[in-house]
Amino acid sequence: MSKAKISVYDTTLRDGTQGEGVSFSVTDKLRIAEKFDQFGIDYIEGGWPGSNPRDMAFFEEAKSLKLKHAKIAAFGSTRRANLSASEDPQLQTLLDAETPVVTIFGKTWLLHVTEVLRVEPEENLRMIEDSVRFLKENGREVVYDAEHFYDGYADSPEYALKTLEAAVAGGADCLALCDTNGGMMVGQLTEITKSIVERFPDTQVGVHCHNDSGVGVALSLSGIEAGAVHVQGTFNGYGERVGNANLTTIIPNLSLKLGYEMNCGNRLEYLRGISMFLADLANLSHDNKAPYVGLSAFTHKGGAHADATKKVSYSYEHVDPTKVGNKQRVLVSDMAGRSSLLMKAQELGVNIDRNSPETKAIIEKLKELEFNGYEYESADASLRLLLDRFMGKFKPHFEFESYRVIVEKRTPDEPTTSEATIKVNINGEPHYTVAESSGPVGALDKALRIALSKTYPNLNDLQLKDYKVRILASQSGTDAKTRVLIESADGKELWGTVGASDNIIEASWQAIRDSVEYKLLLDGQ
């Protein structure tokens, strides 16, 4: 027996934006909607028309989107108590959005009916049925979100079922059962969902889960296994409190593990790219530990793991990383053996012999450096330069002679200023430059750029994207060793470099120097 096709309903643009630190402009939301459509998402919930100017502007602009597959959904609530659906201004706003789909939520839990809405239970049922019917009569596909359904069912199964019956009587196309508080366990949700699927065989049943108990994805998968054919969630798990069920995990699990057909199932190679795109627009760090799409998802550090993976990739990889747009990575650390080093070197474009004396020497050097504070897990560029030095392939583009950094604060009310002087030799010619900046590292970086700019004008493309400082052996106080990680980019490539010293300026200088050298290496100079 073939499995039912699953429709994927994304609520990143509405529920996702309720998450702390998540905000999208109207332009952002339009770009995201187009990305989701290209990926094959079935429903895109754009927001709540009338709740804020941004959502109103989005729906107005969304009318001109040329989507090939996805349907835009407007979100809202049932009519107000003691007011007809046709007279309710909120329902009219949903119609004015001119979306093919409208999703409305209604109260399922008697607690919310009597204590939050403060209406009679029978009036709540009329509110649900009237609202759904009104939207259906106006030509809309209606998804009914049964808010707090599972809590409501646990409290009063009889009343919870009546709310669904009211929605079905109004003509609802889909009943989305919501674990709004995110407190359900898998066994509970599975049992309840199965009973609802059996109770309403002629109506689509969906699940909408939150991750408050850390099992949002598991709940969503169990709901589908129990017979639901519609799943709601957000990309990257964005959402209120700890977030919604994460579609970047749900989708590949349904497709690759459970064998369900989905429209986006044959486009999974774009999954990581979209996940990172969302993080960039939200101005949030991408979760390296995210299943399937995180940077670390297919990363191997232990030597034995790396060796086994090289021989048989699936021995330590549950799926082929390329299927979800990711890639295999090997980290070189003090835990590394020859296999790890060989794989990493190959990844960086350096050919080394497994049995060569250089290989053994490199491993020993890496262990020594990491003991002294260096770390190459996020510093591939520094590692590449280190390998080149050992292989006799490194040709420095400049020779360092000296630097000096002065930090000055002239008055209590004035900000500090920093001045850096640097002396380097380029092709045998000395270059002595001075630069100022608000901080000492910025001044040092600026002085080096000035010194090199005439000979290497392409360094104008180099940008310092991130600067991280880690204090090692903090019990040493102000004399503790410091590790500096710098992330750089030139519009085409992104790379990391590292420095370590008991002096933060020296550690920063090492990372800056490597960043510049790597940029020049990339450009073939």
Q: Do both 244 and 359 map to the same domain?
A: no
Q: Do both 72 and 154 map to the same domain?
A: yes
Residue 329 structural domain: 299-371
259 by Cβ neighbours in 10 Å (0-12 / 13-18 / 19+) ranks as exposed
Q: What is the CATH number of the domain that holds 457?
A: 3.30.160.270
Q: Do both 74 and 194 map to the same domain?
A: yes
Q: Do both 211 and 89 map to the same domain?
A: yes
Q: Do both 207 and 314 map to the same domain?
A: no
Q: Do both 101 and 234 map to the same domain?
A: yes
Rounded Cα distance, 219 and 215, in Å: 6
In a domain, 390, yes or no: no
Q: Do both 310 and 405 map to the same domain?
A: no
Q: Do both 462 and 413 map to the same domain?
A: yes
Q: Do both 331 and 453 map to the same domain?
A: no
pLDDT tens, position by position, 26-80 = 999 999 999 999 999 999 999 999 777 888 899 999 999 999 999 999 999 999 9
Note the pLDDT of residue 313.
60
The phi, psi pair for 420, rounded to 5°, reads: -120, 135
In a domain, 423, yes or no: yes
Q: Which residues of the chain have pLDDT under 70?
A: 1, 301-316, 330-344, 346, 377, 473-480
In a domain, 325, yes or no: yes
In a domain, 413, yes or no: yes
Note the pLDDT of residue 480.
67
In a domain, 289, yes or no: no
Q: What is the CATH number of the domain that holds 47?
A: 3.20.20.70
Which helix (H) or strand (E) segment holds residue 448: the answer is: helix 440-453
In a domain, 195, yes or no: yes
Q: Which amino acid is at 448?
A: L
Would you list the DSSP string of 380-408? HHHHHHHHHHHTT----SSEEEEEEEEEE
Q: Do both 215 and 69 map to the same domain?
A: yes
Rounded Cα distance, 426 and 86, in Å: 78
Q: Could you say which of 371, 389, 419 is where a domain stops?
A: 371
Q: Do both 235 and 102 map to the same domain?
A: yes
Q: How many CB atoms within 10 Å of residue 343?
A: 21
Note the pLDDT of residue 312.
55
CB proximity list for 167: less than 8 A, separation 6 or greater: 106, 128, 129, 132, 144, 146, 175
Would you list the DSSP string of 357-370? HHHHHHHHHHHHHH
- The strand ranges marked E within 90-197 are 101-107, 141-147, 174-179
Angle between helices 303-311 and 338-347 (to 10 degrees): 60
Beta bridge partners of 467: 486
Q: Could you say which of 254, 282, 310 is where a domain stops?
A: 282
Q: Do both 233 and 317 map to the same domain?
A: no
In a domain, 384, yes or no: no
In a domain, 377, yes or no: no
Q: How many domains does the chain have?
A: 3
The full length of the chain comes to 525
pLDDT tens, position by position, 80-91 = 998 899 999 999
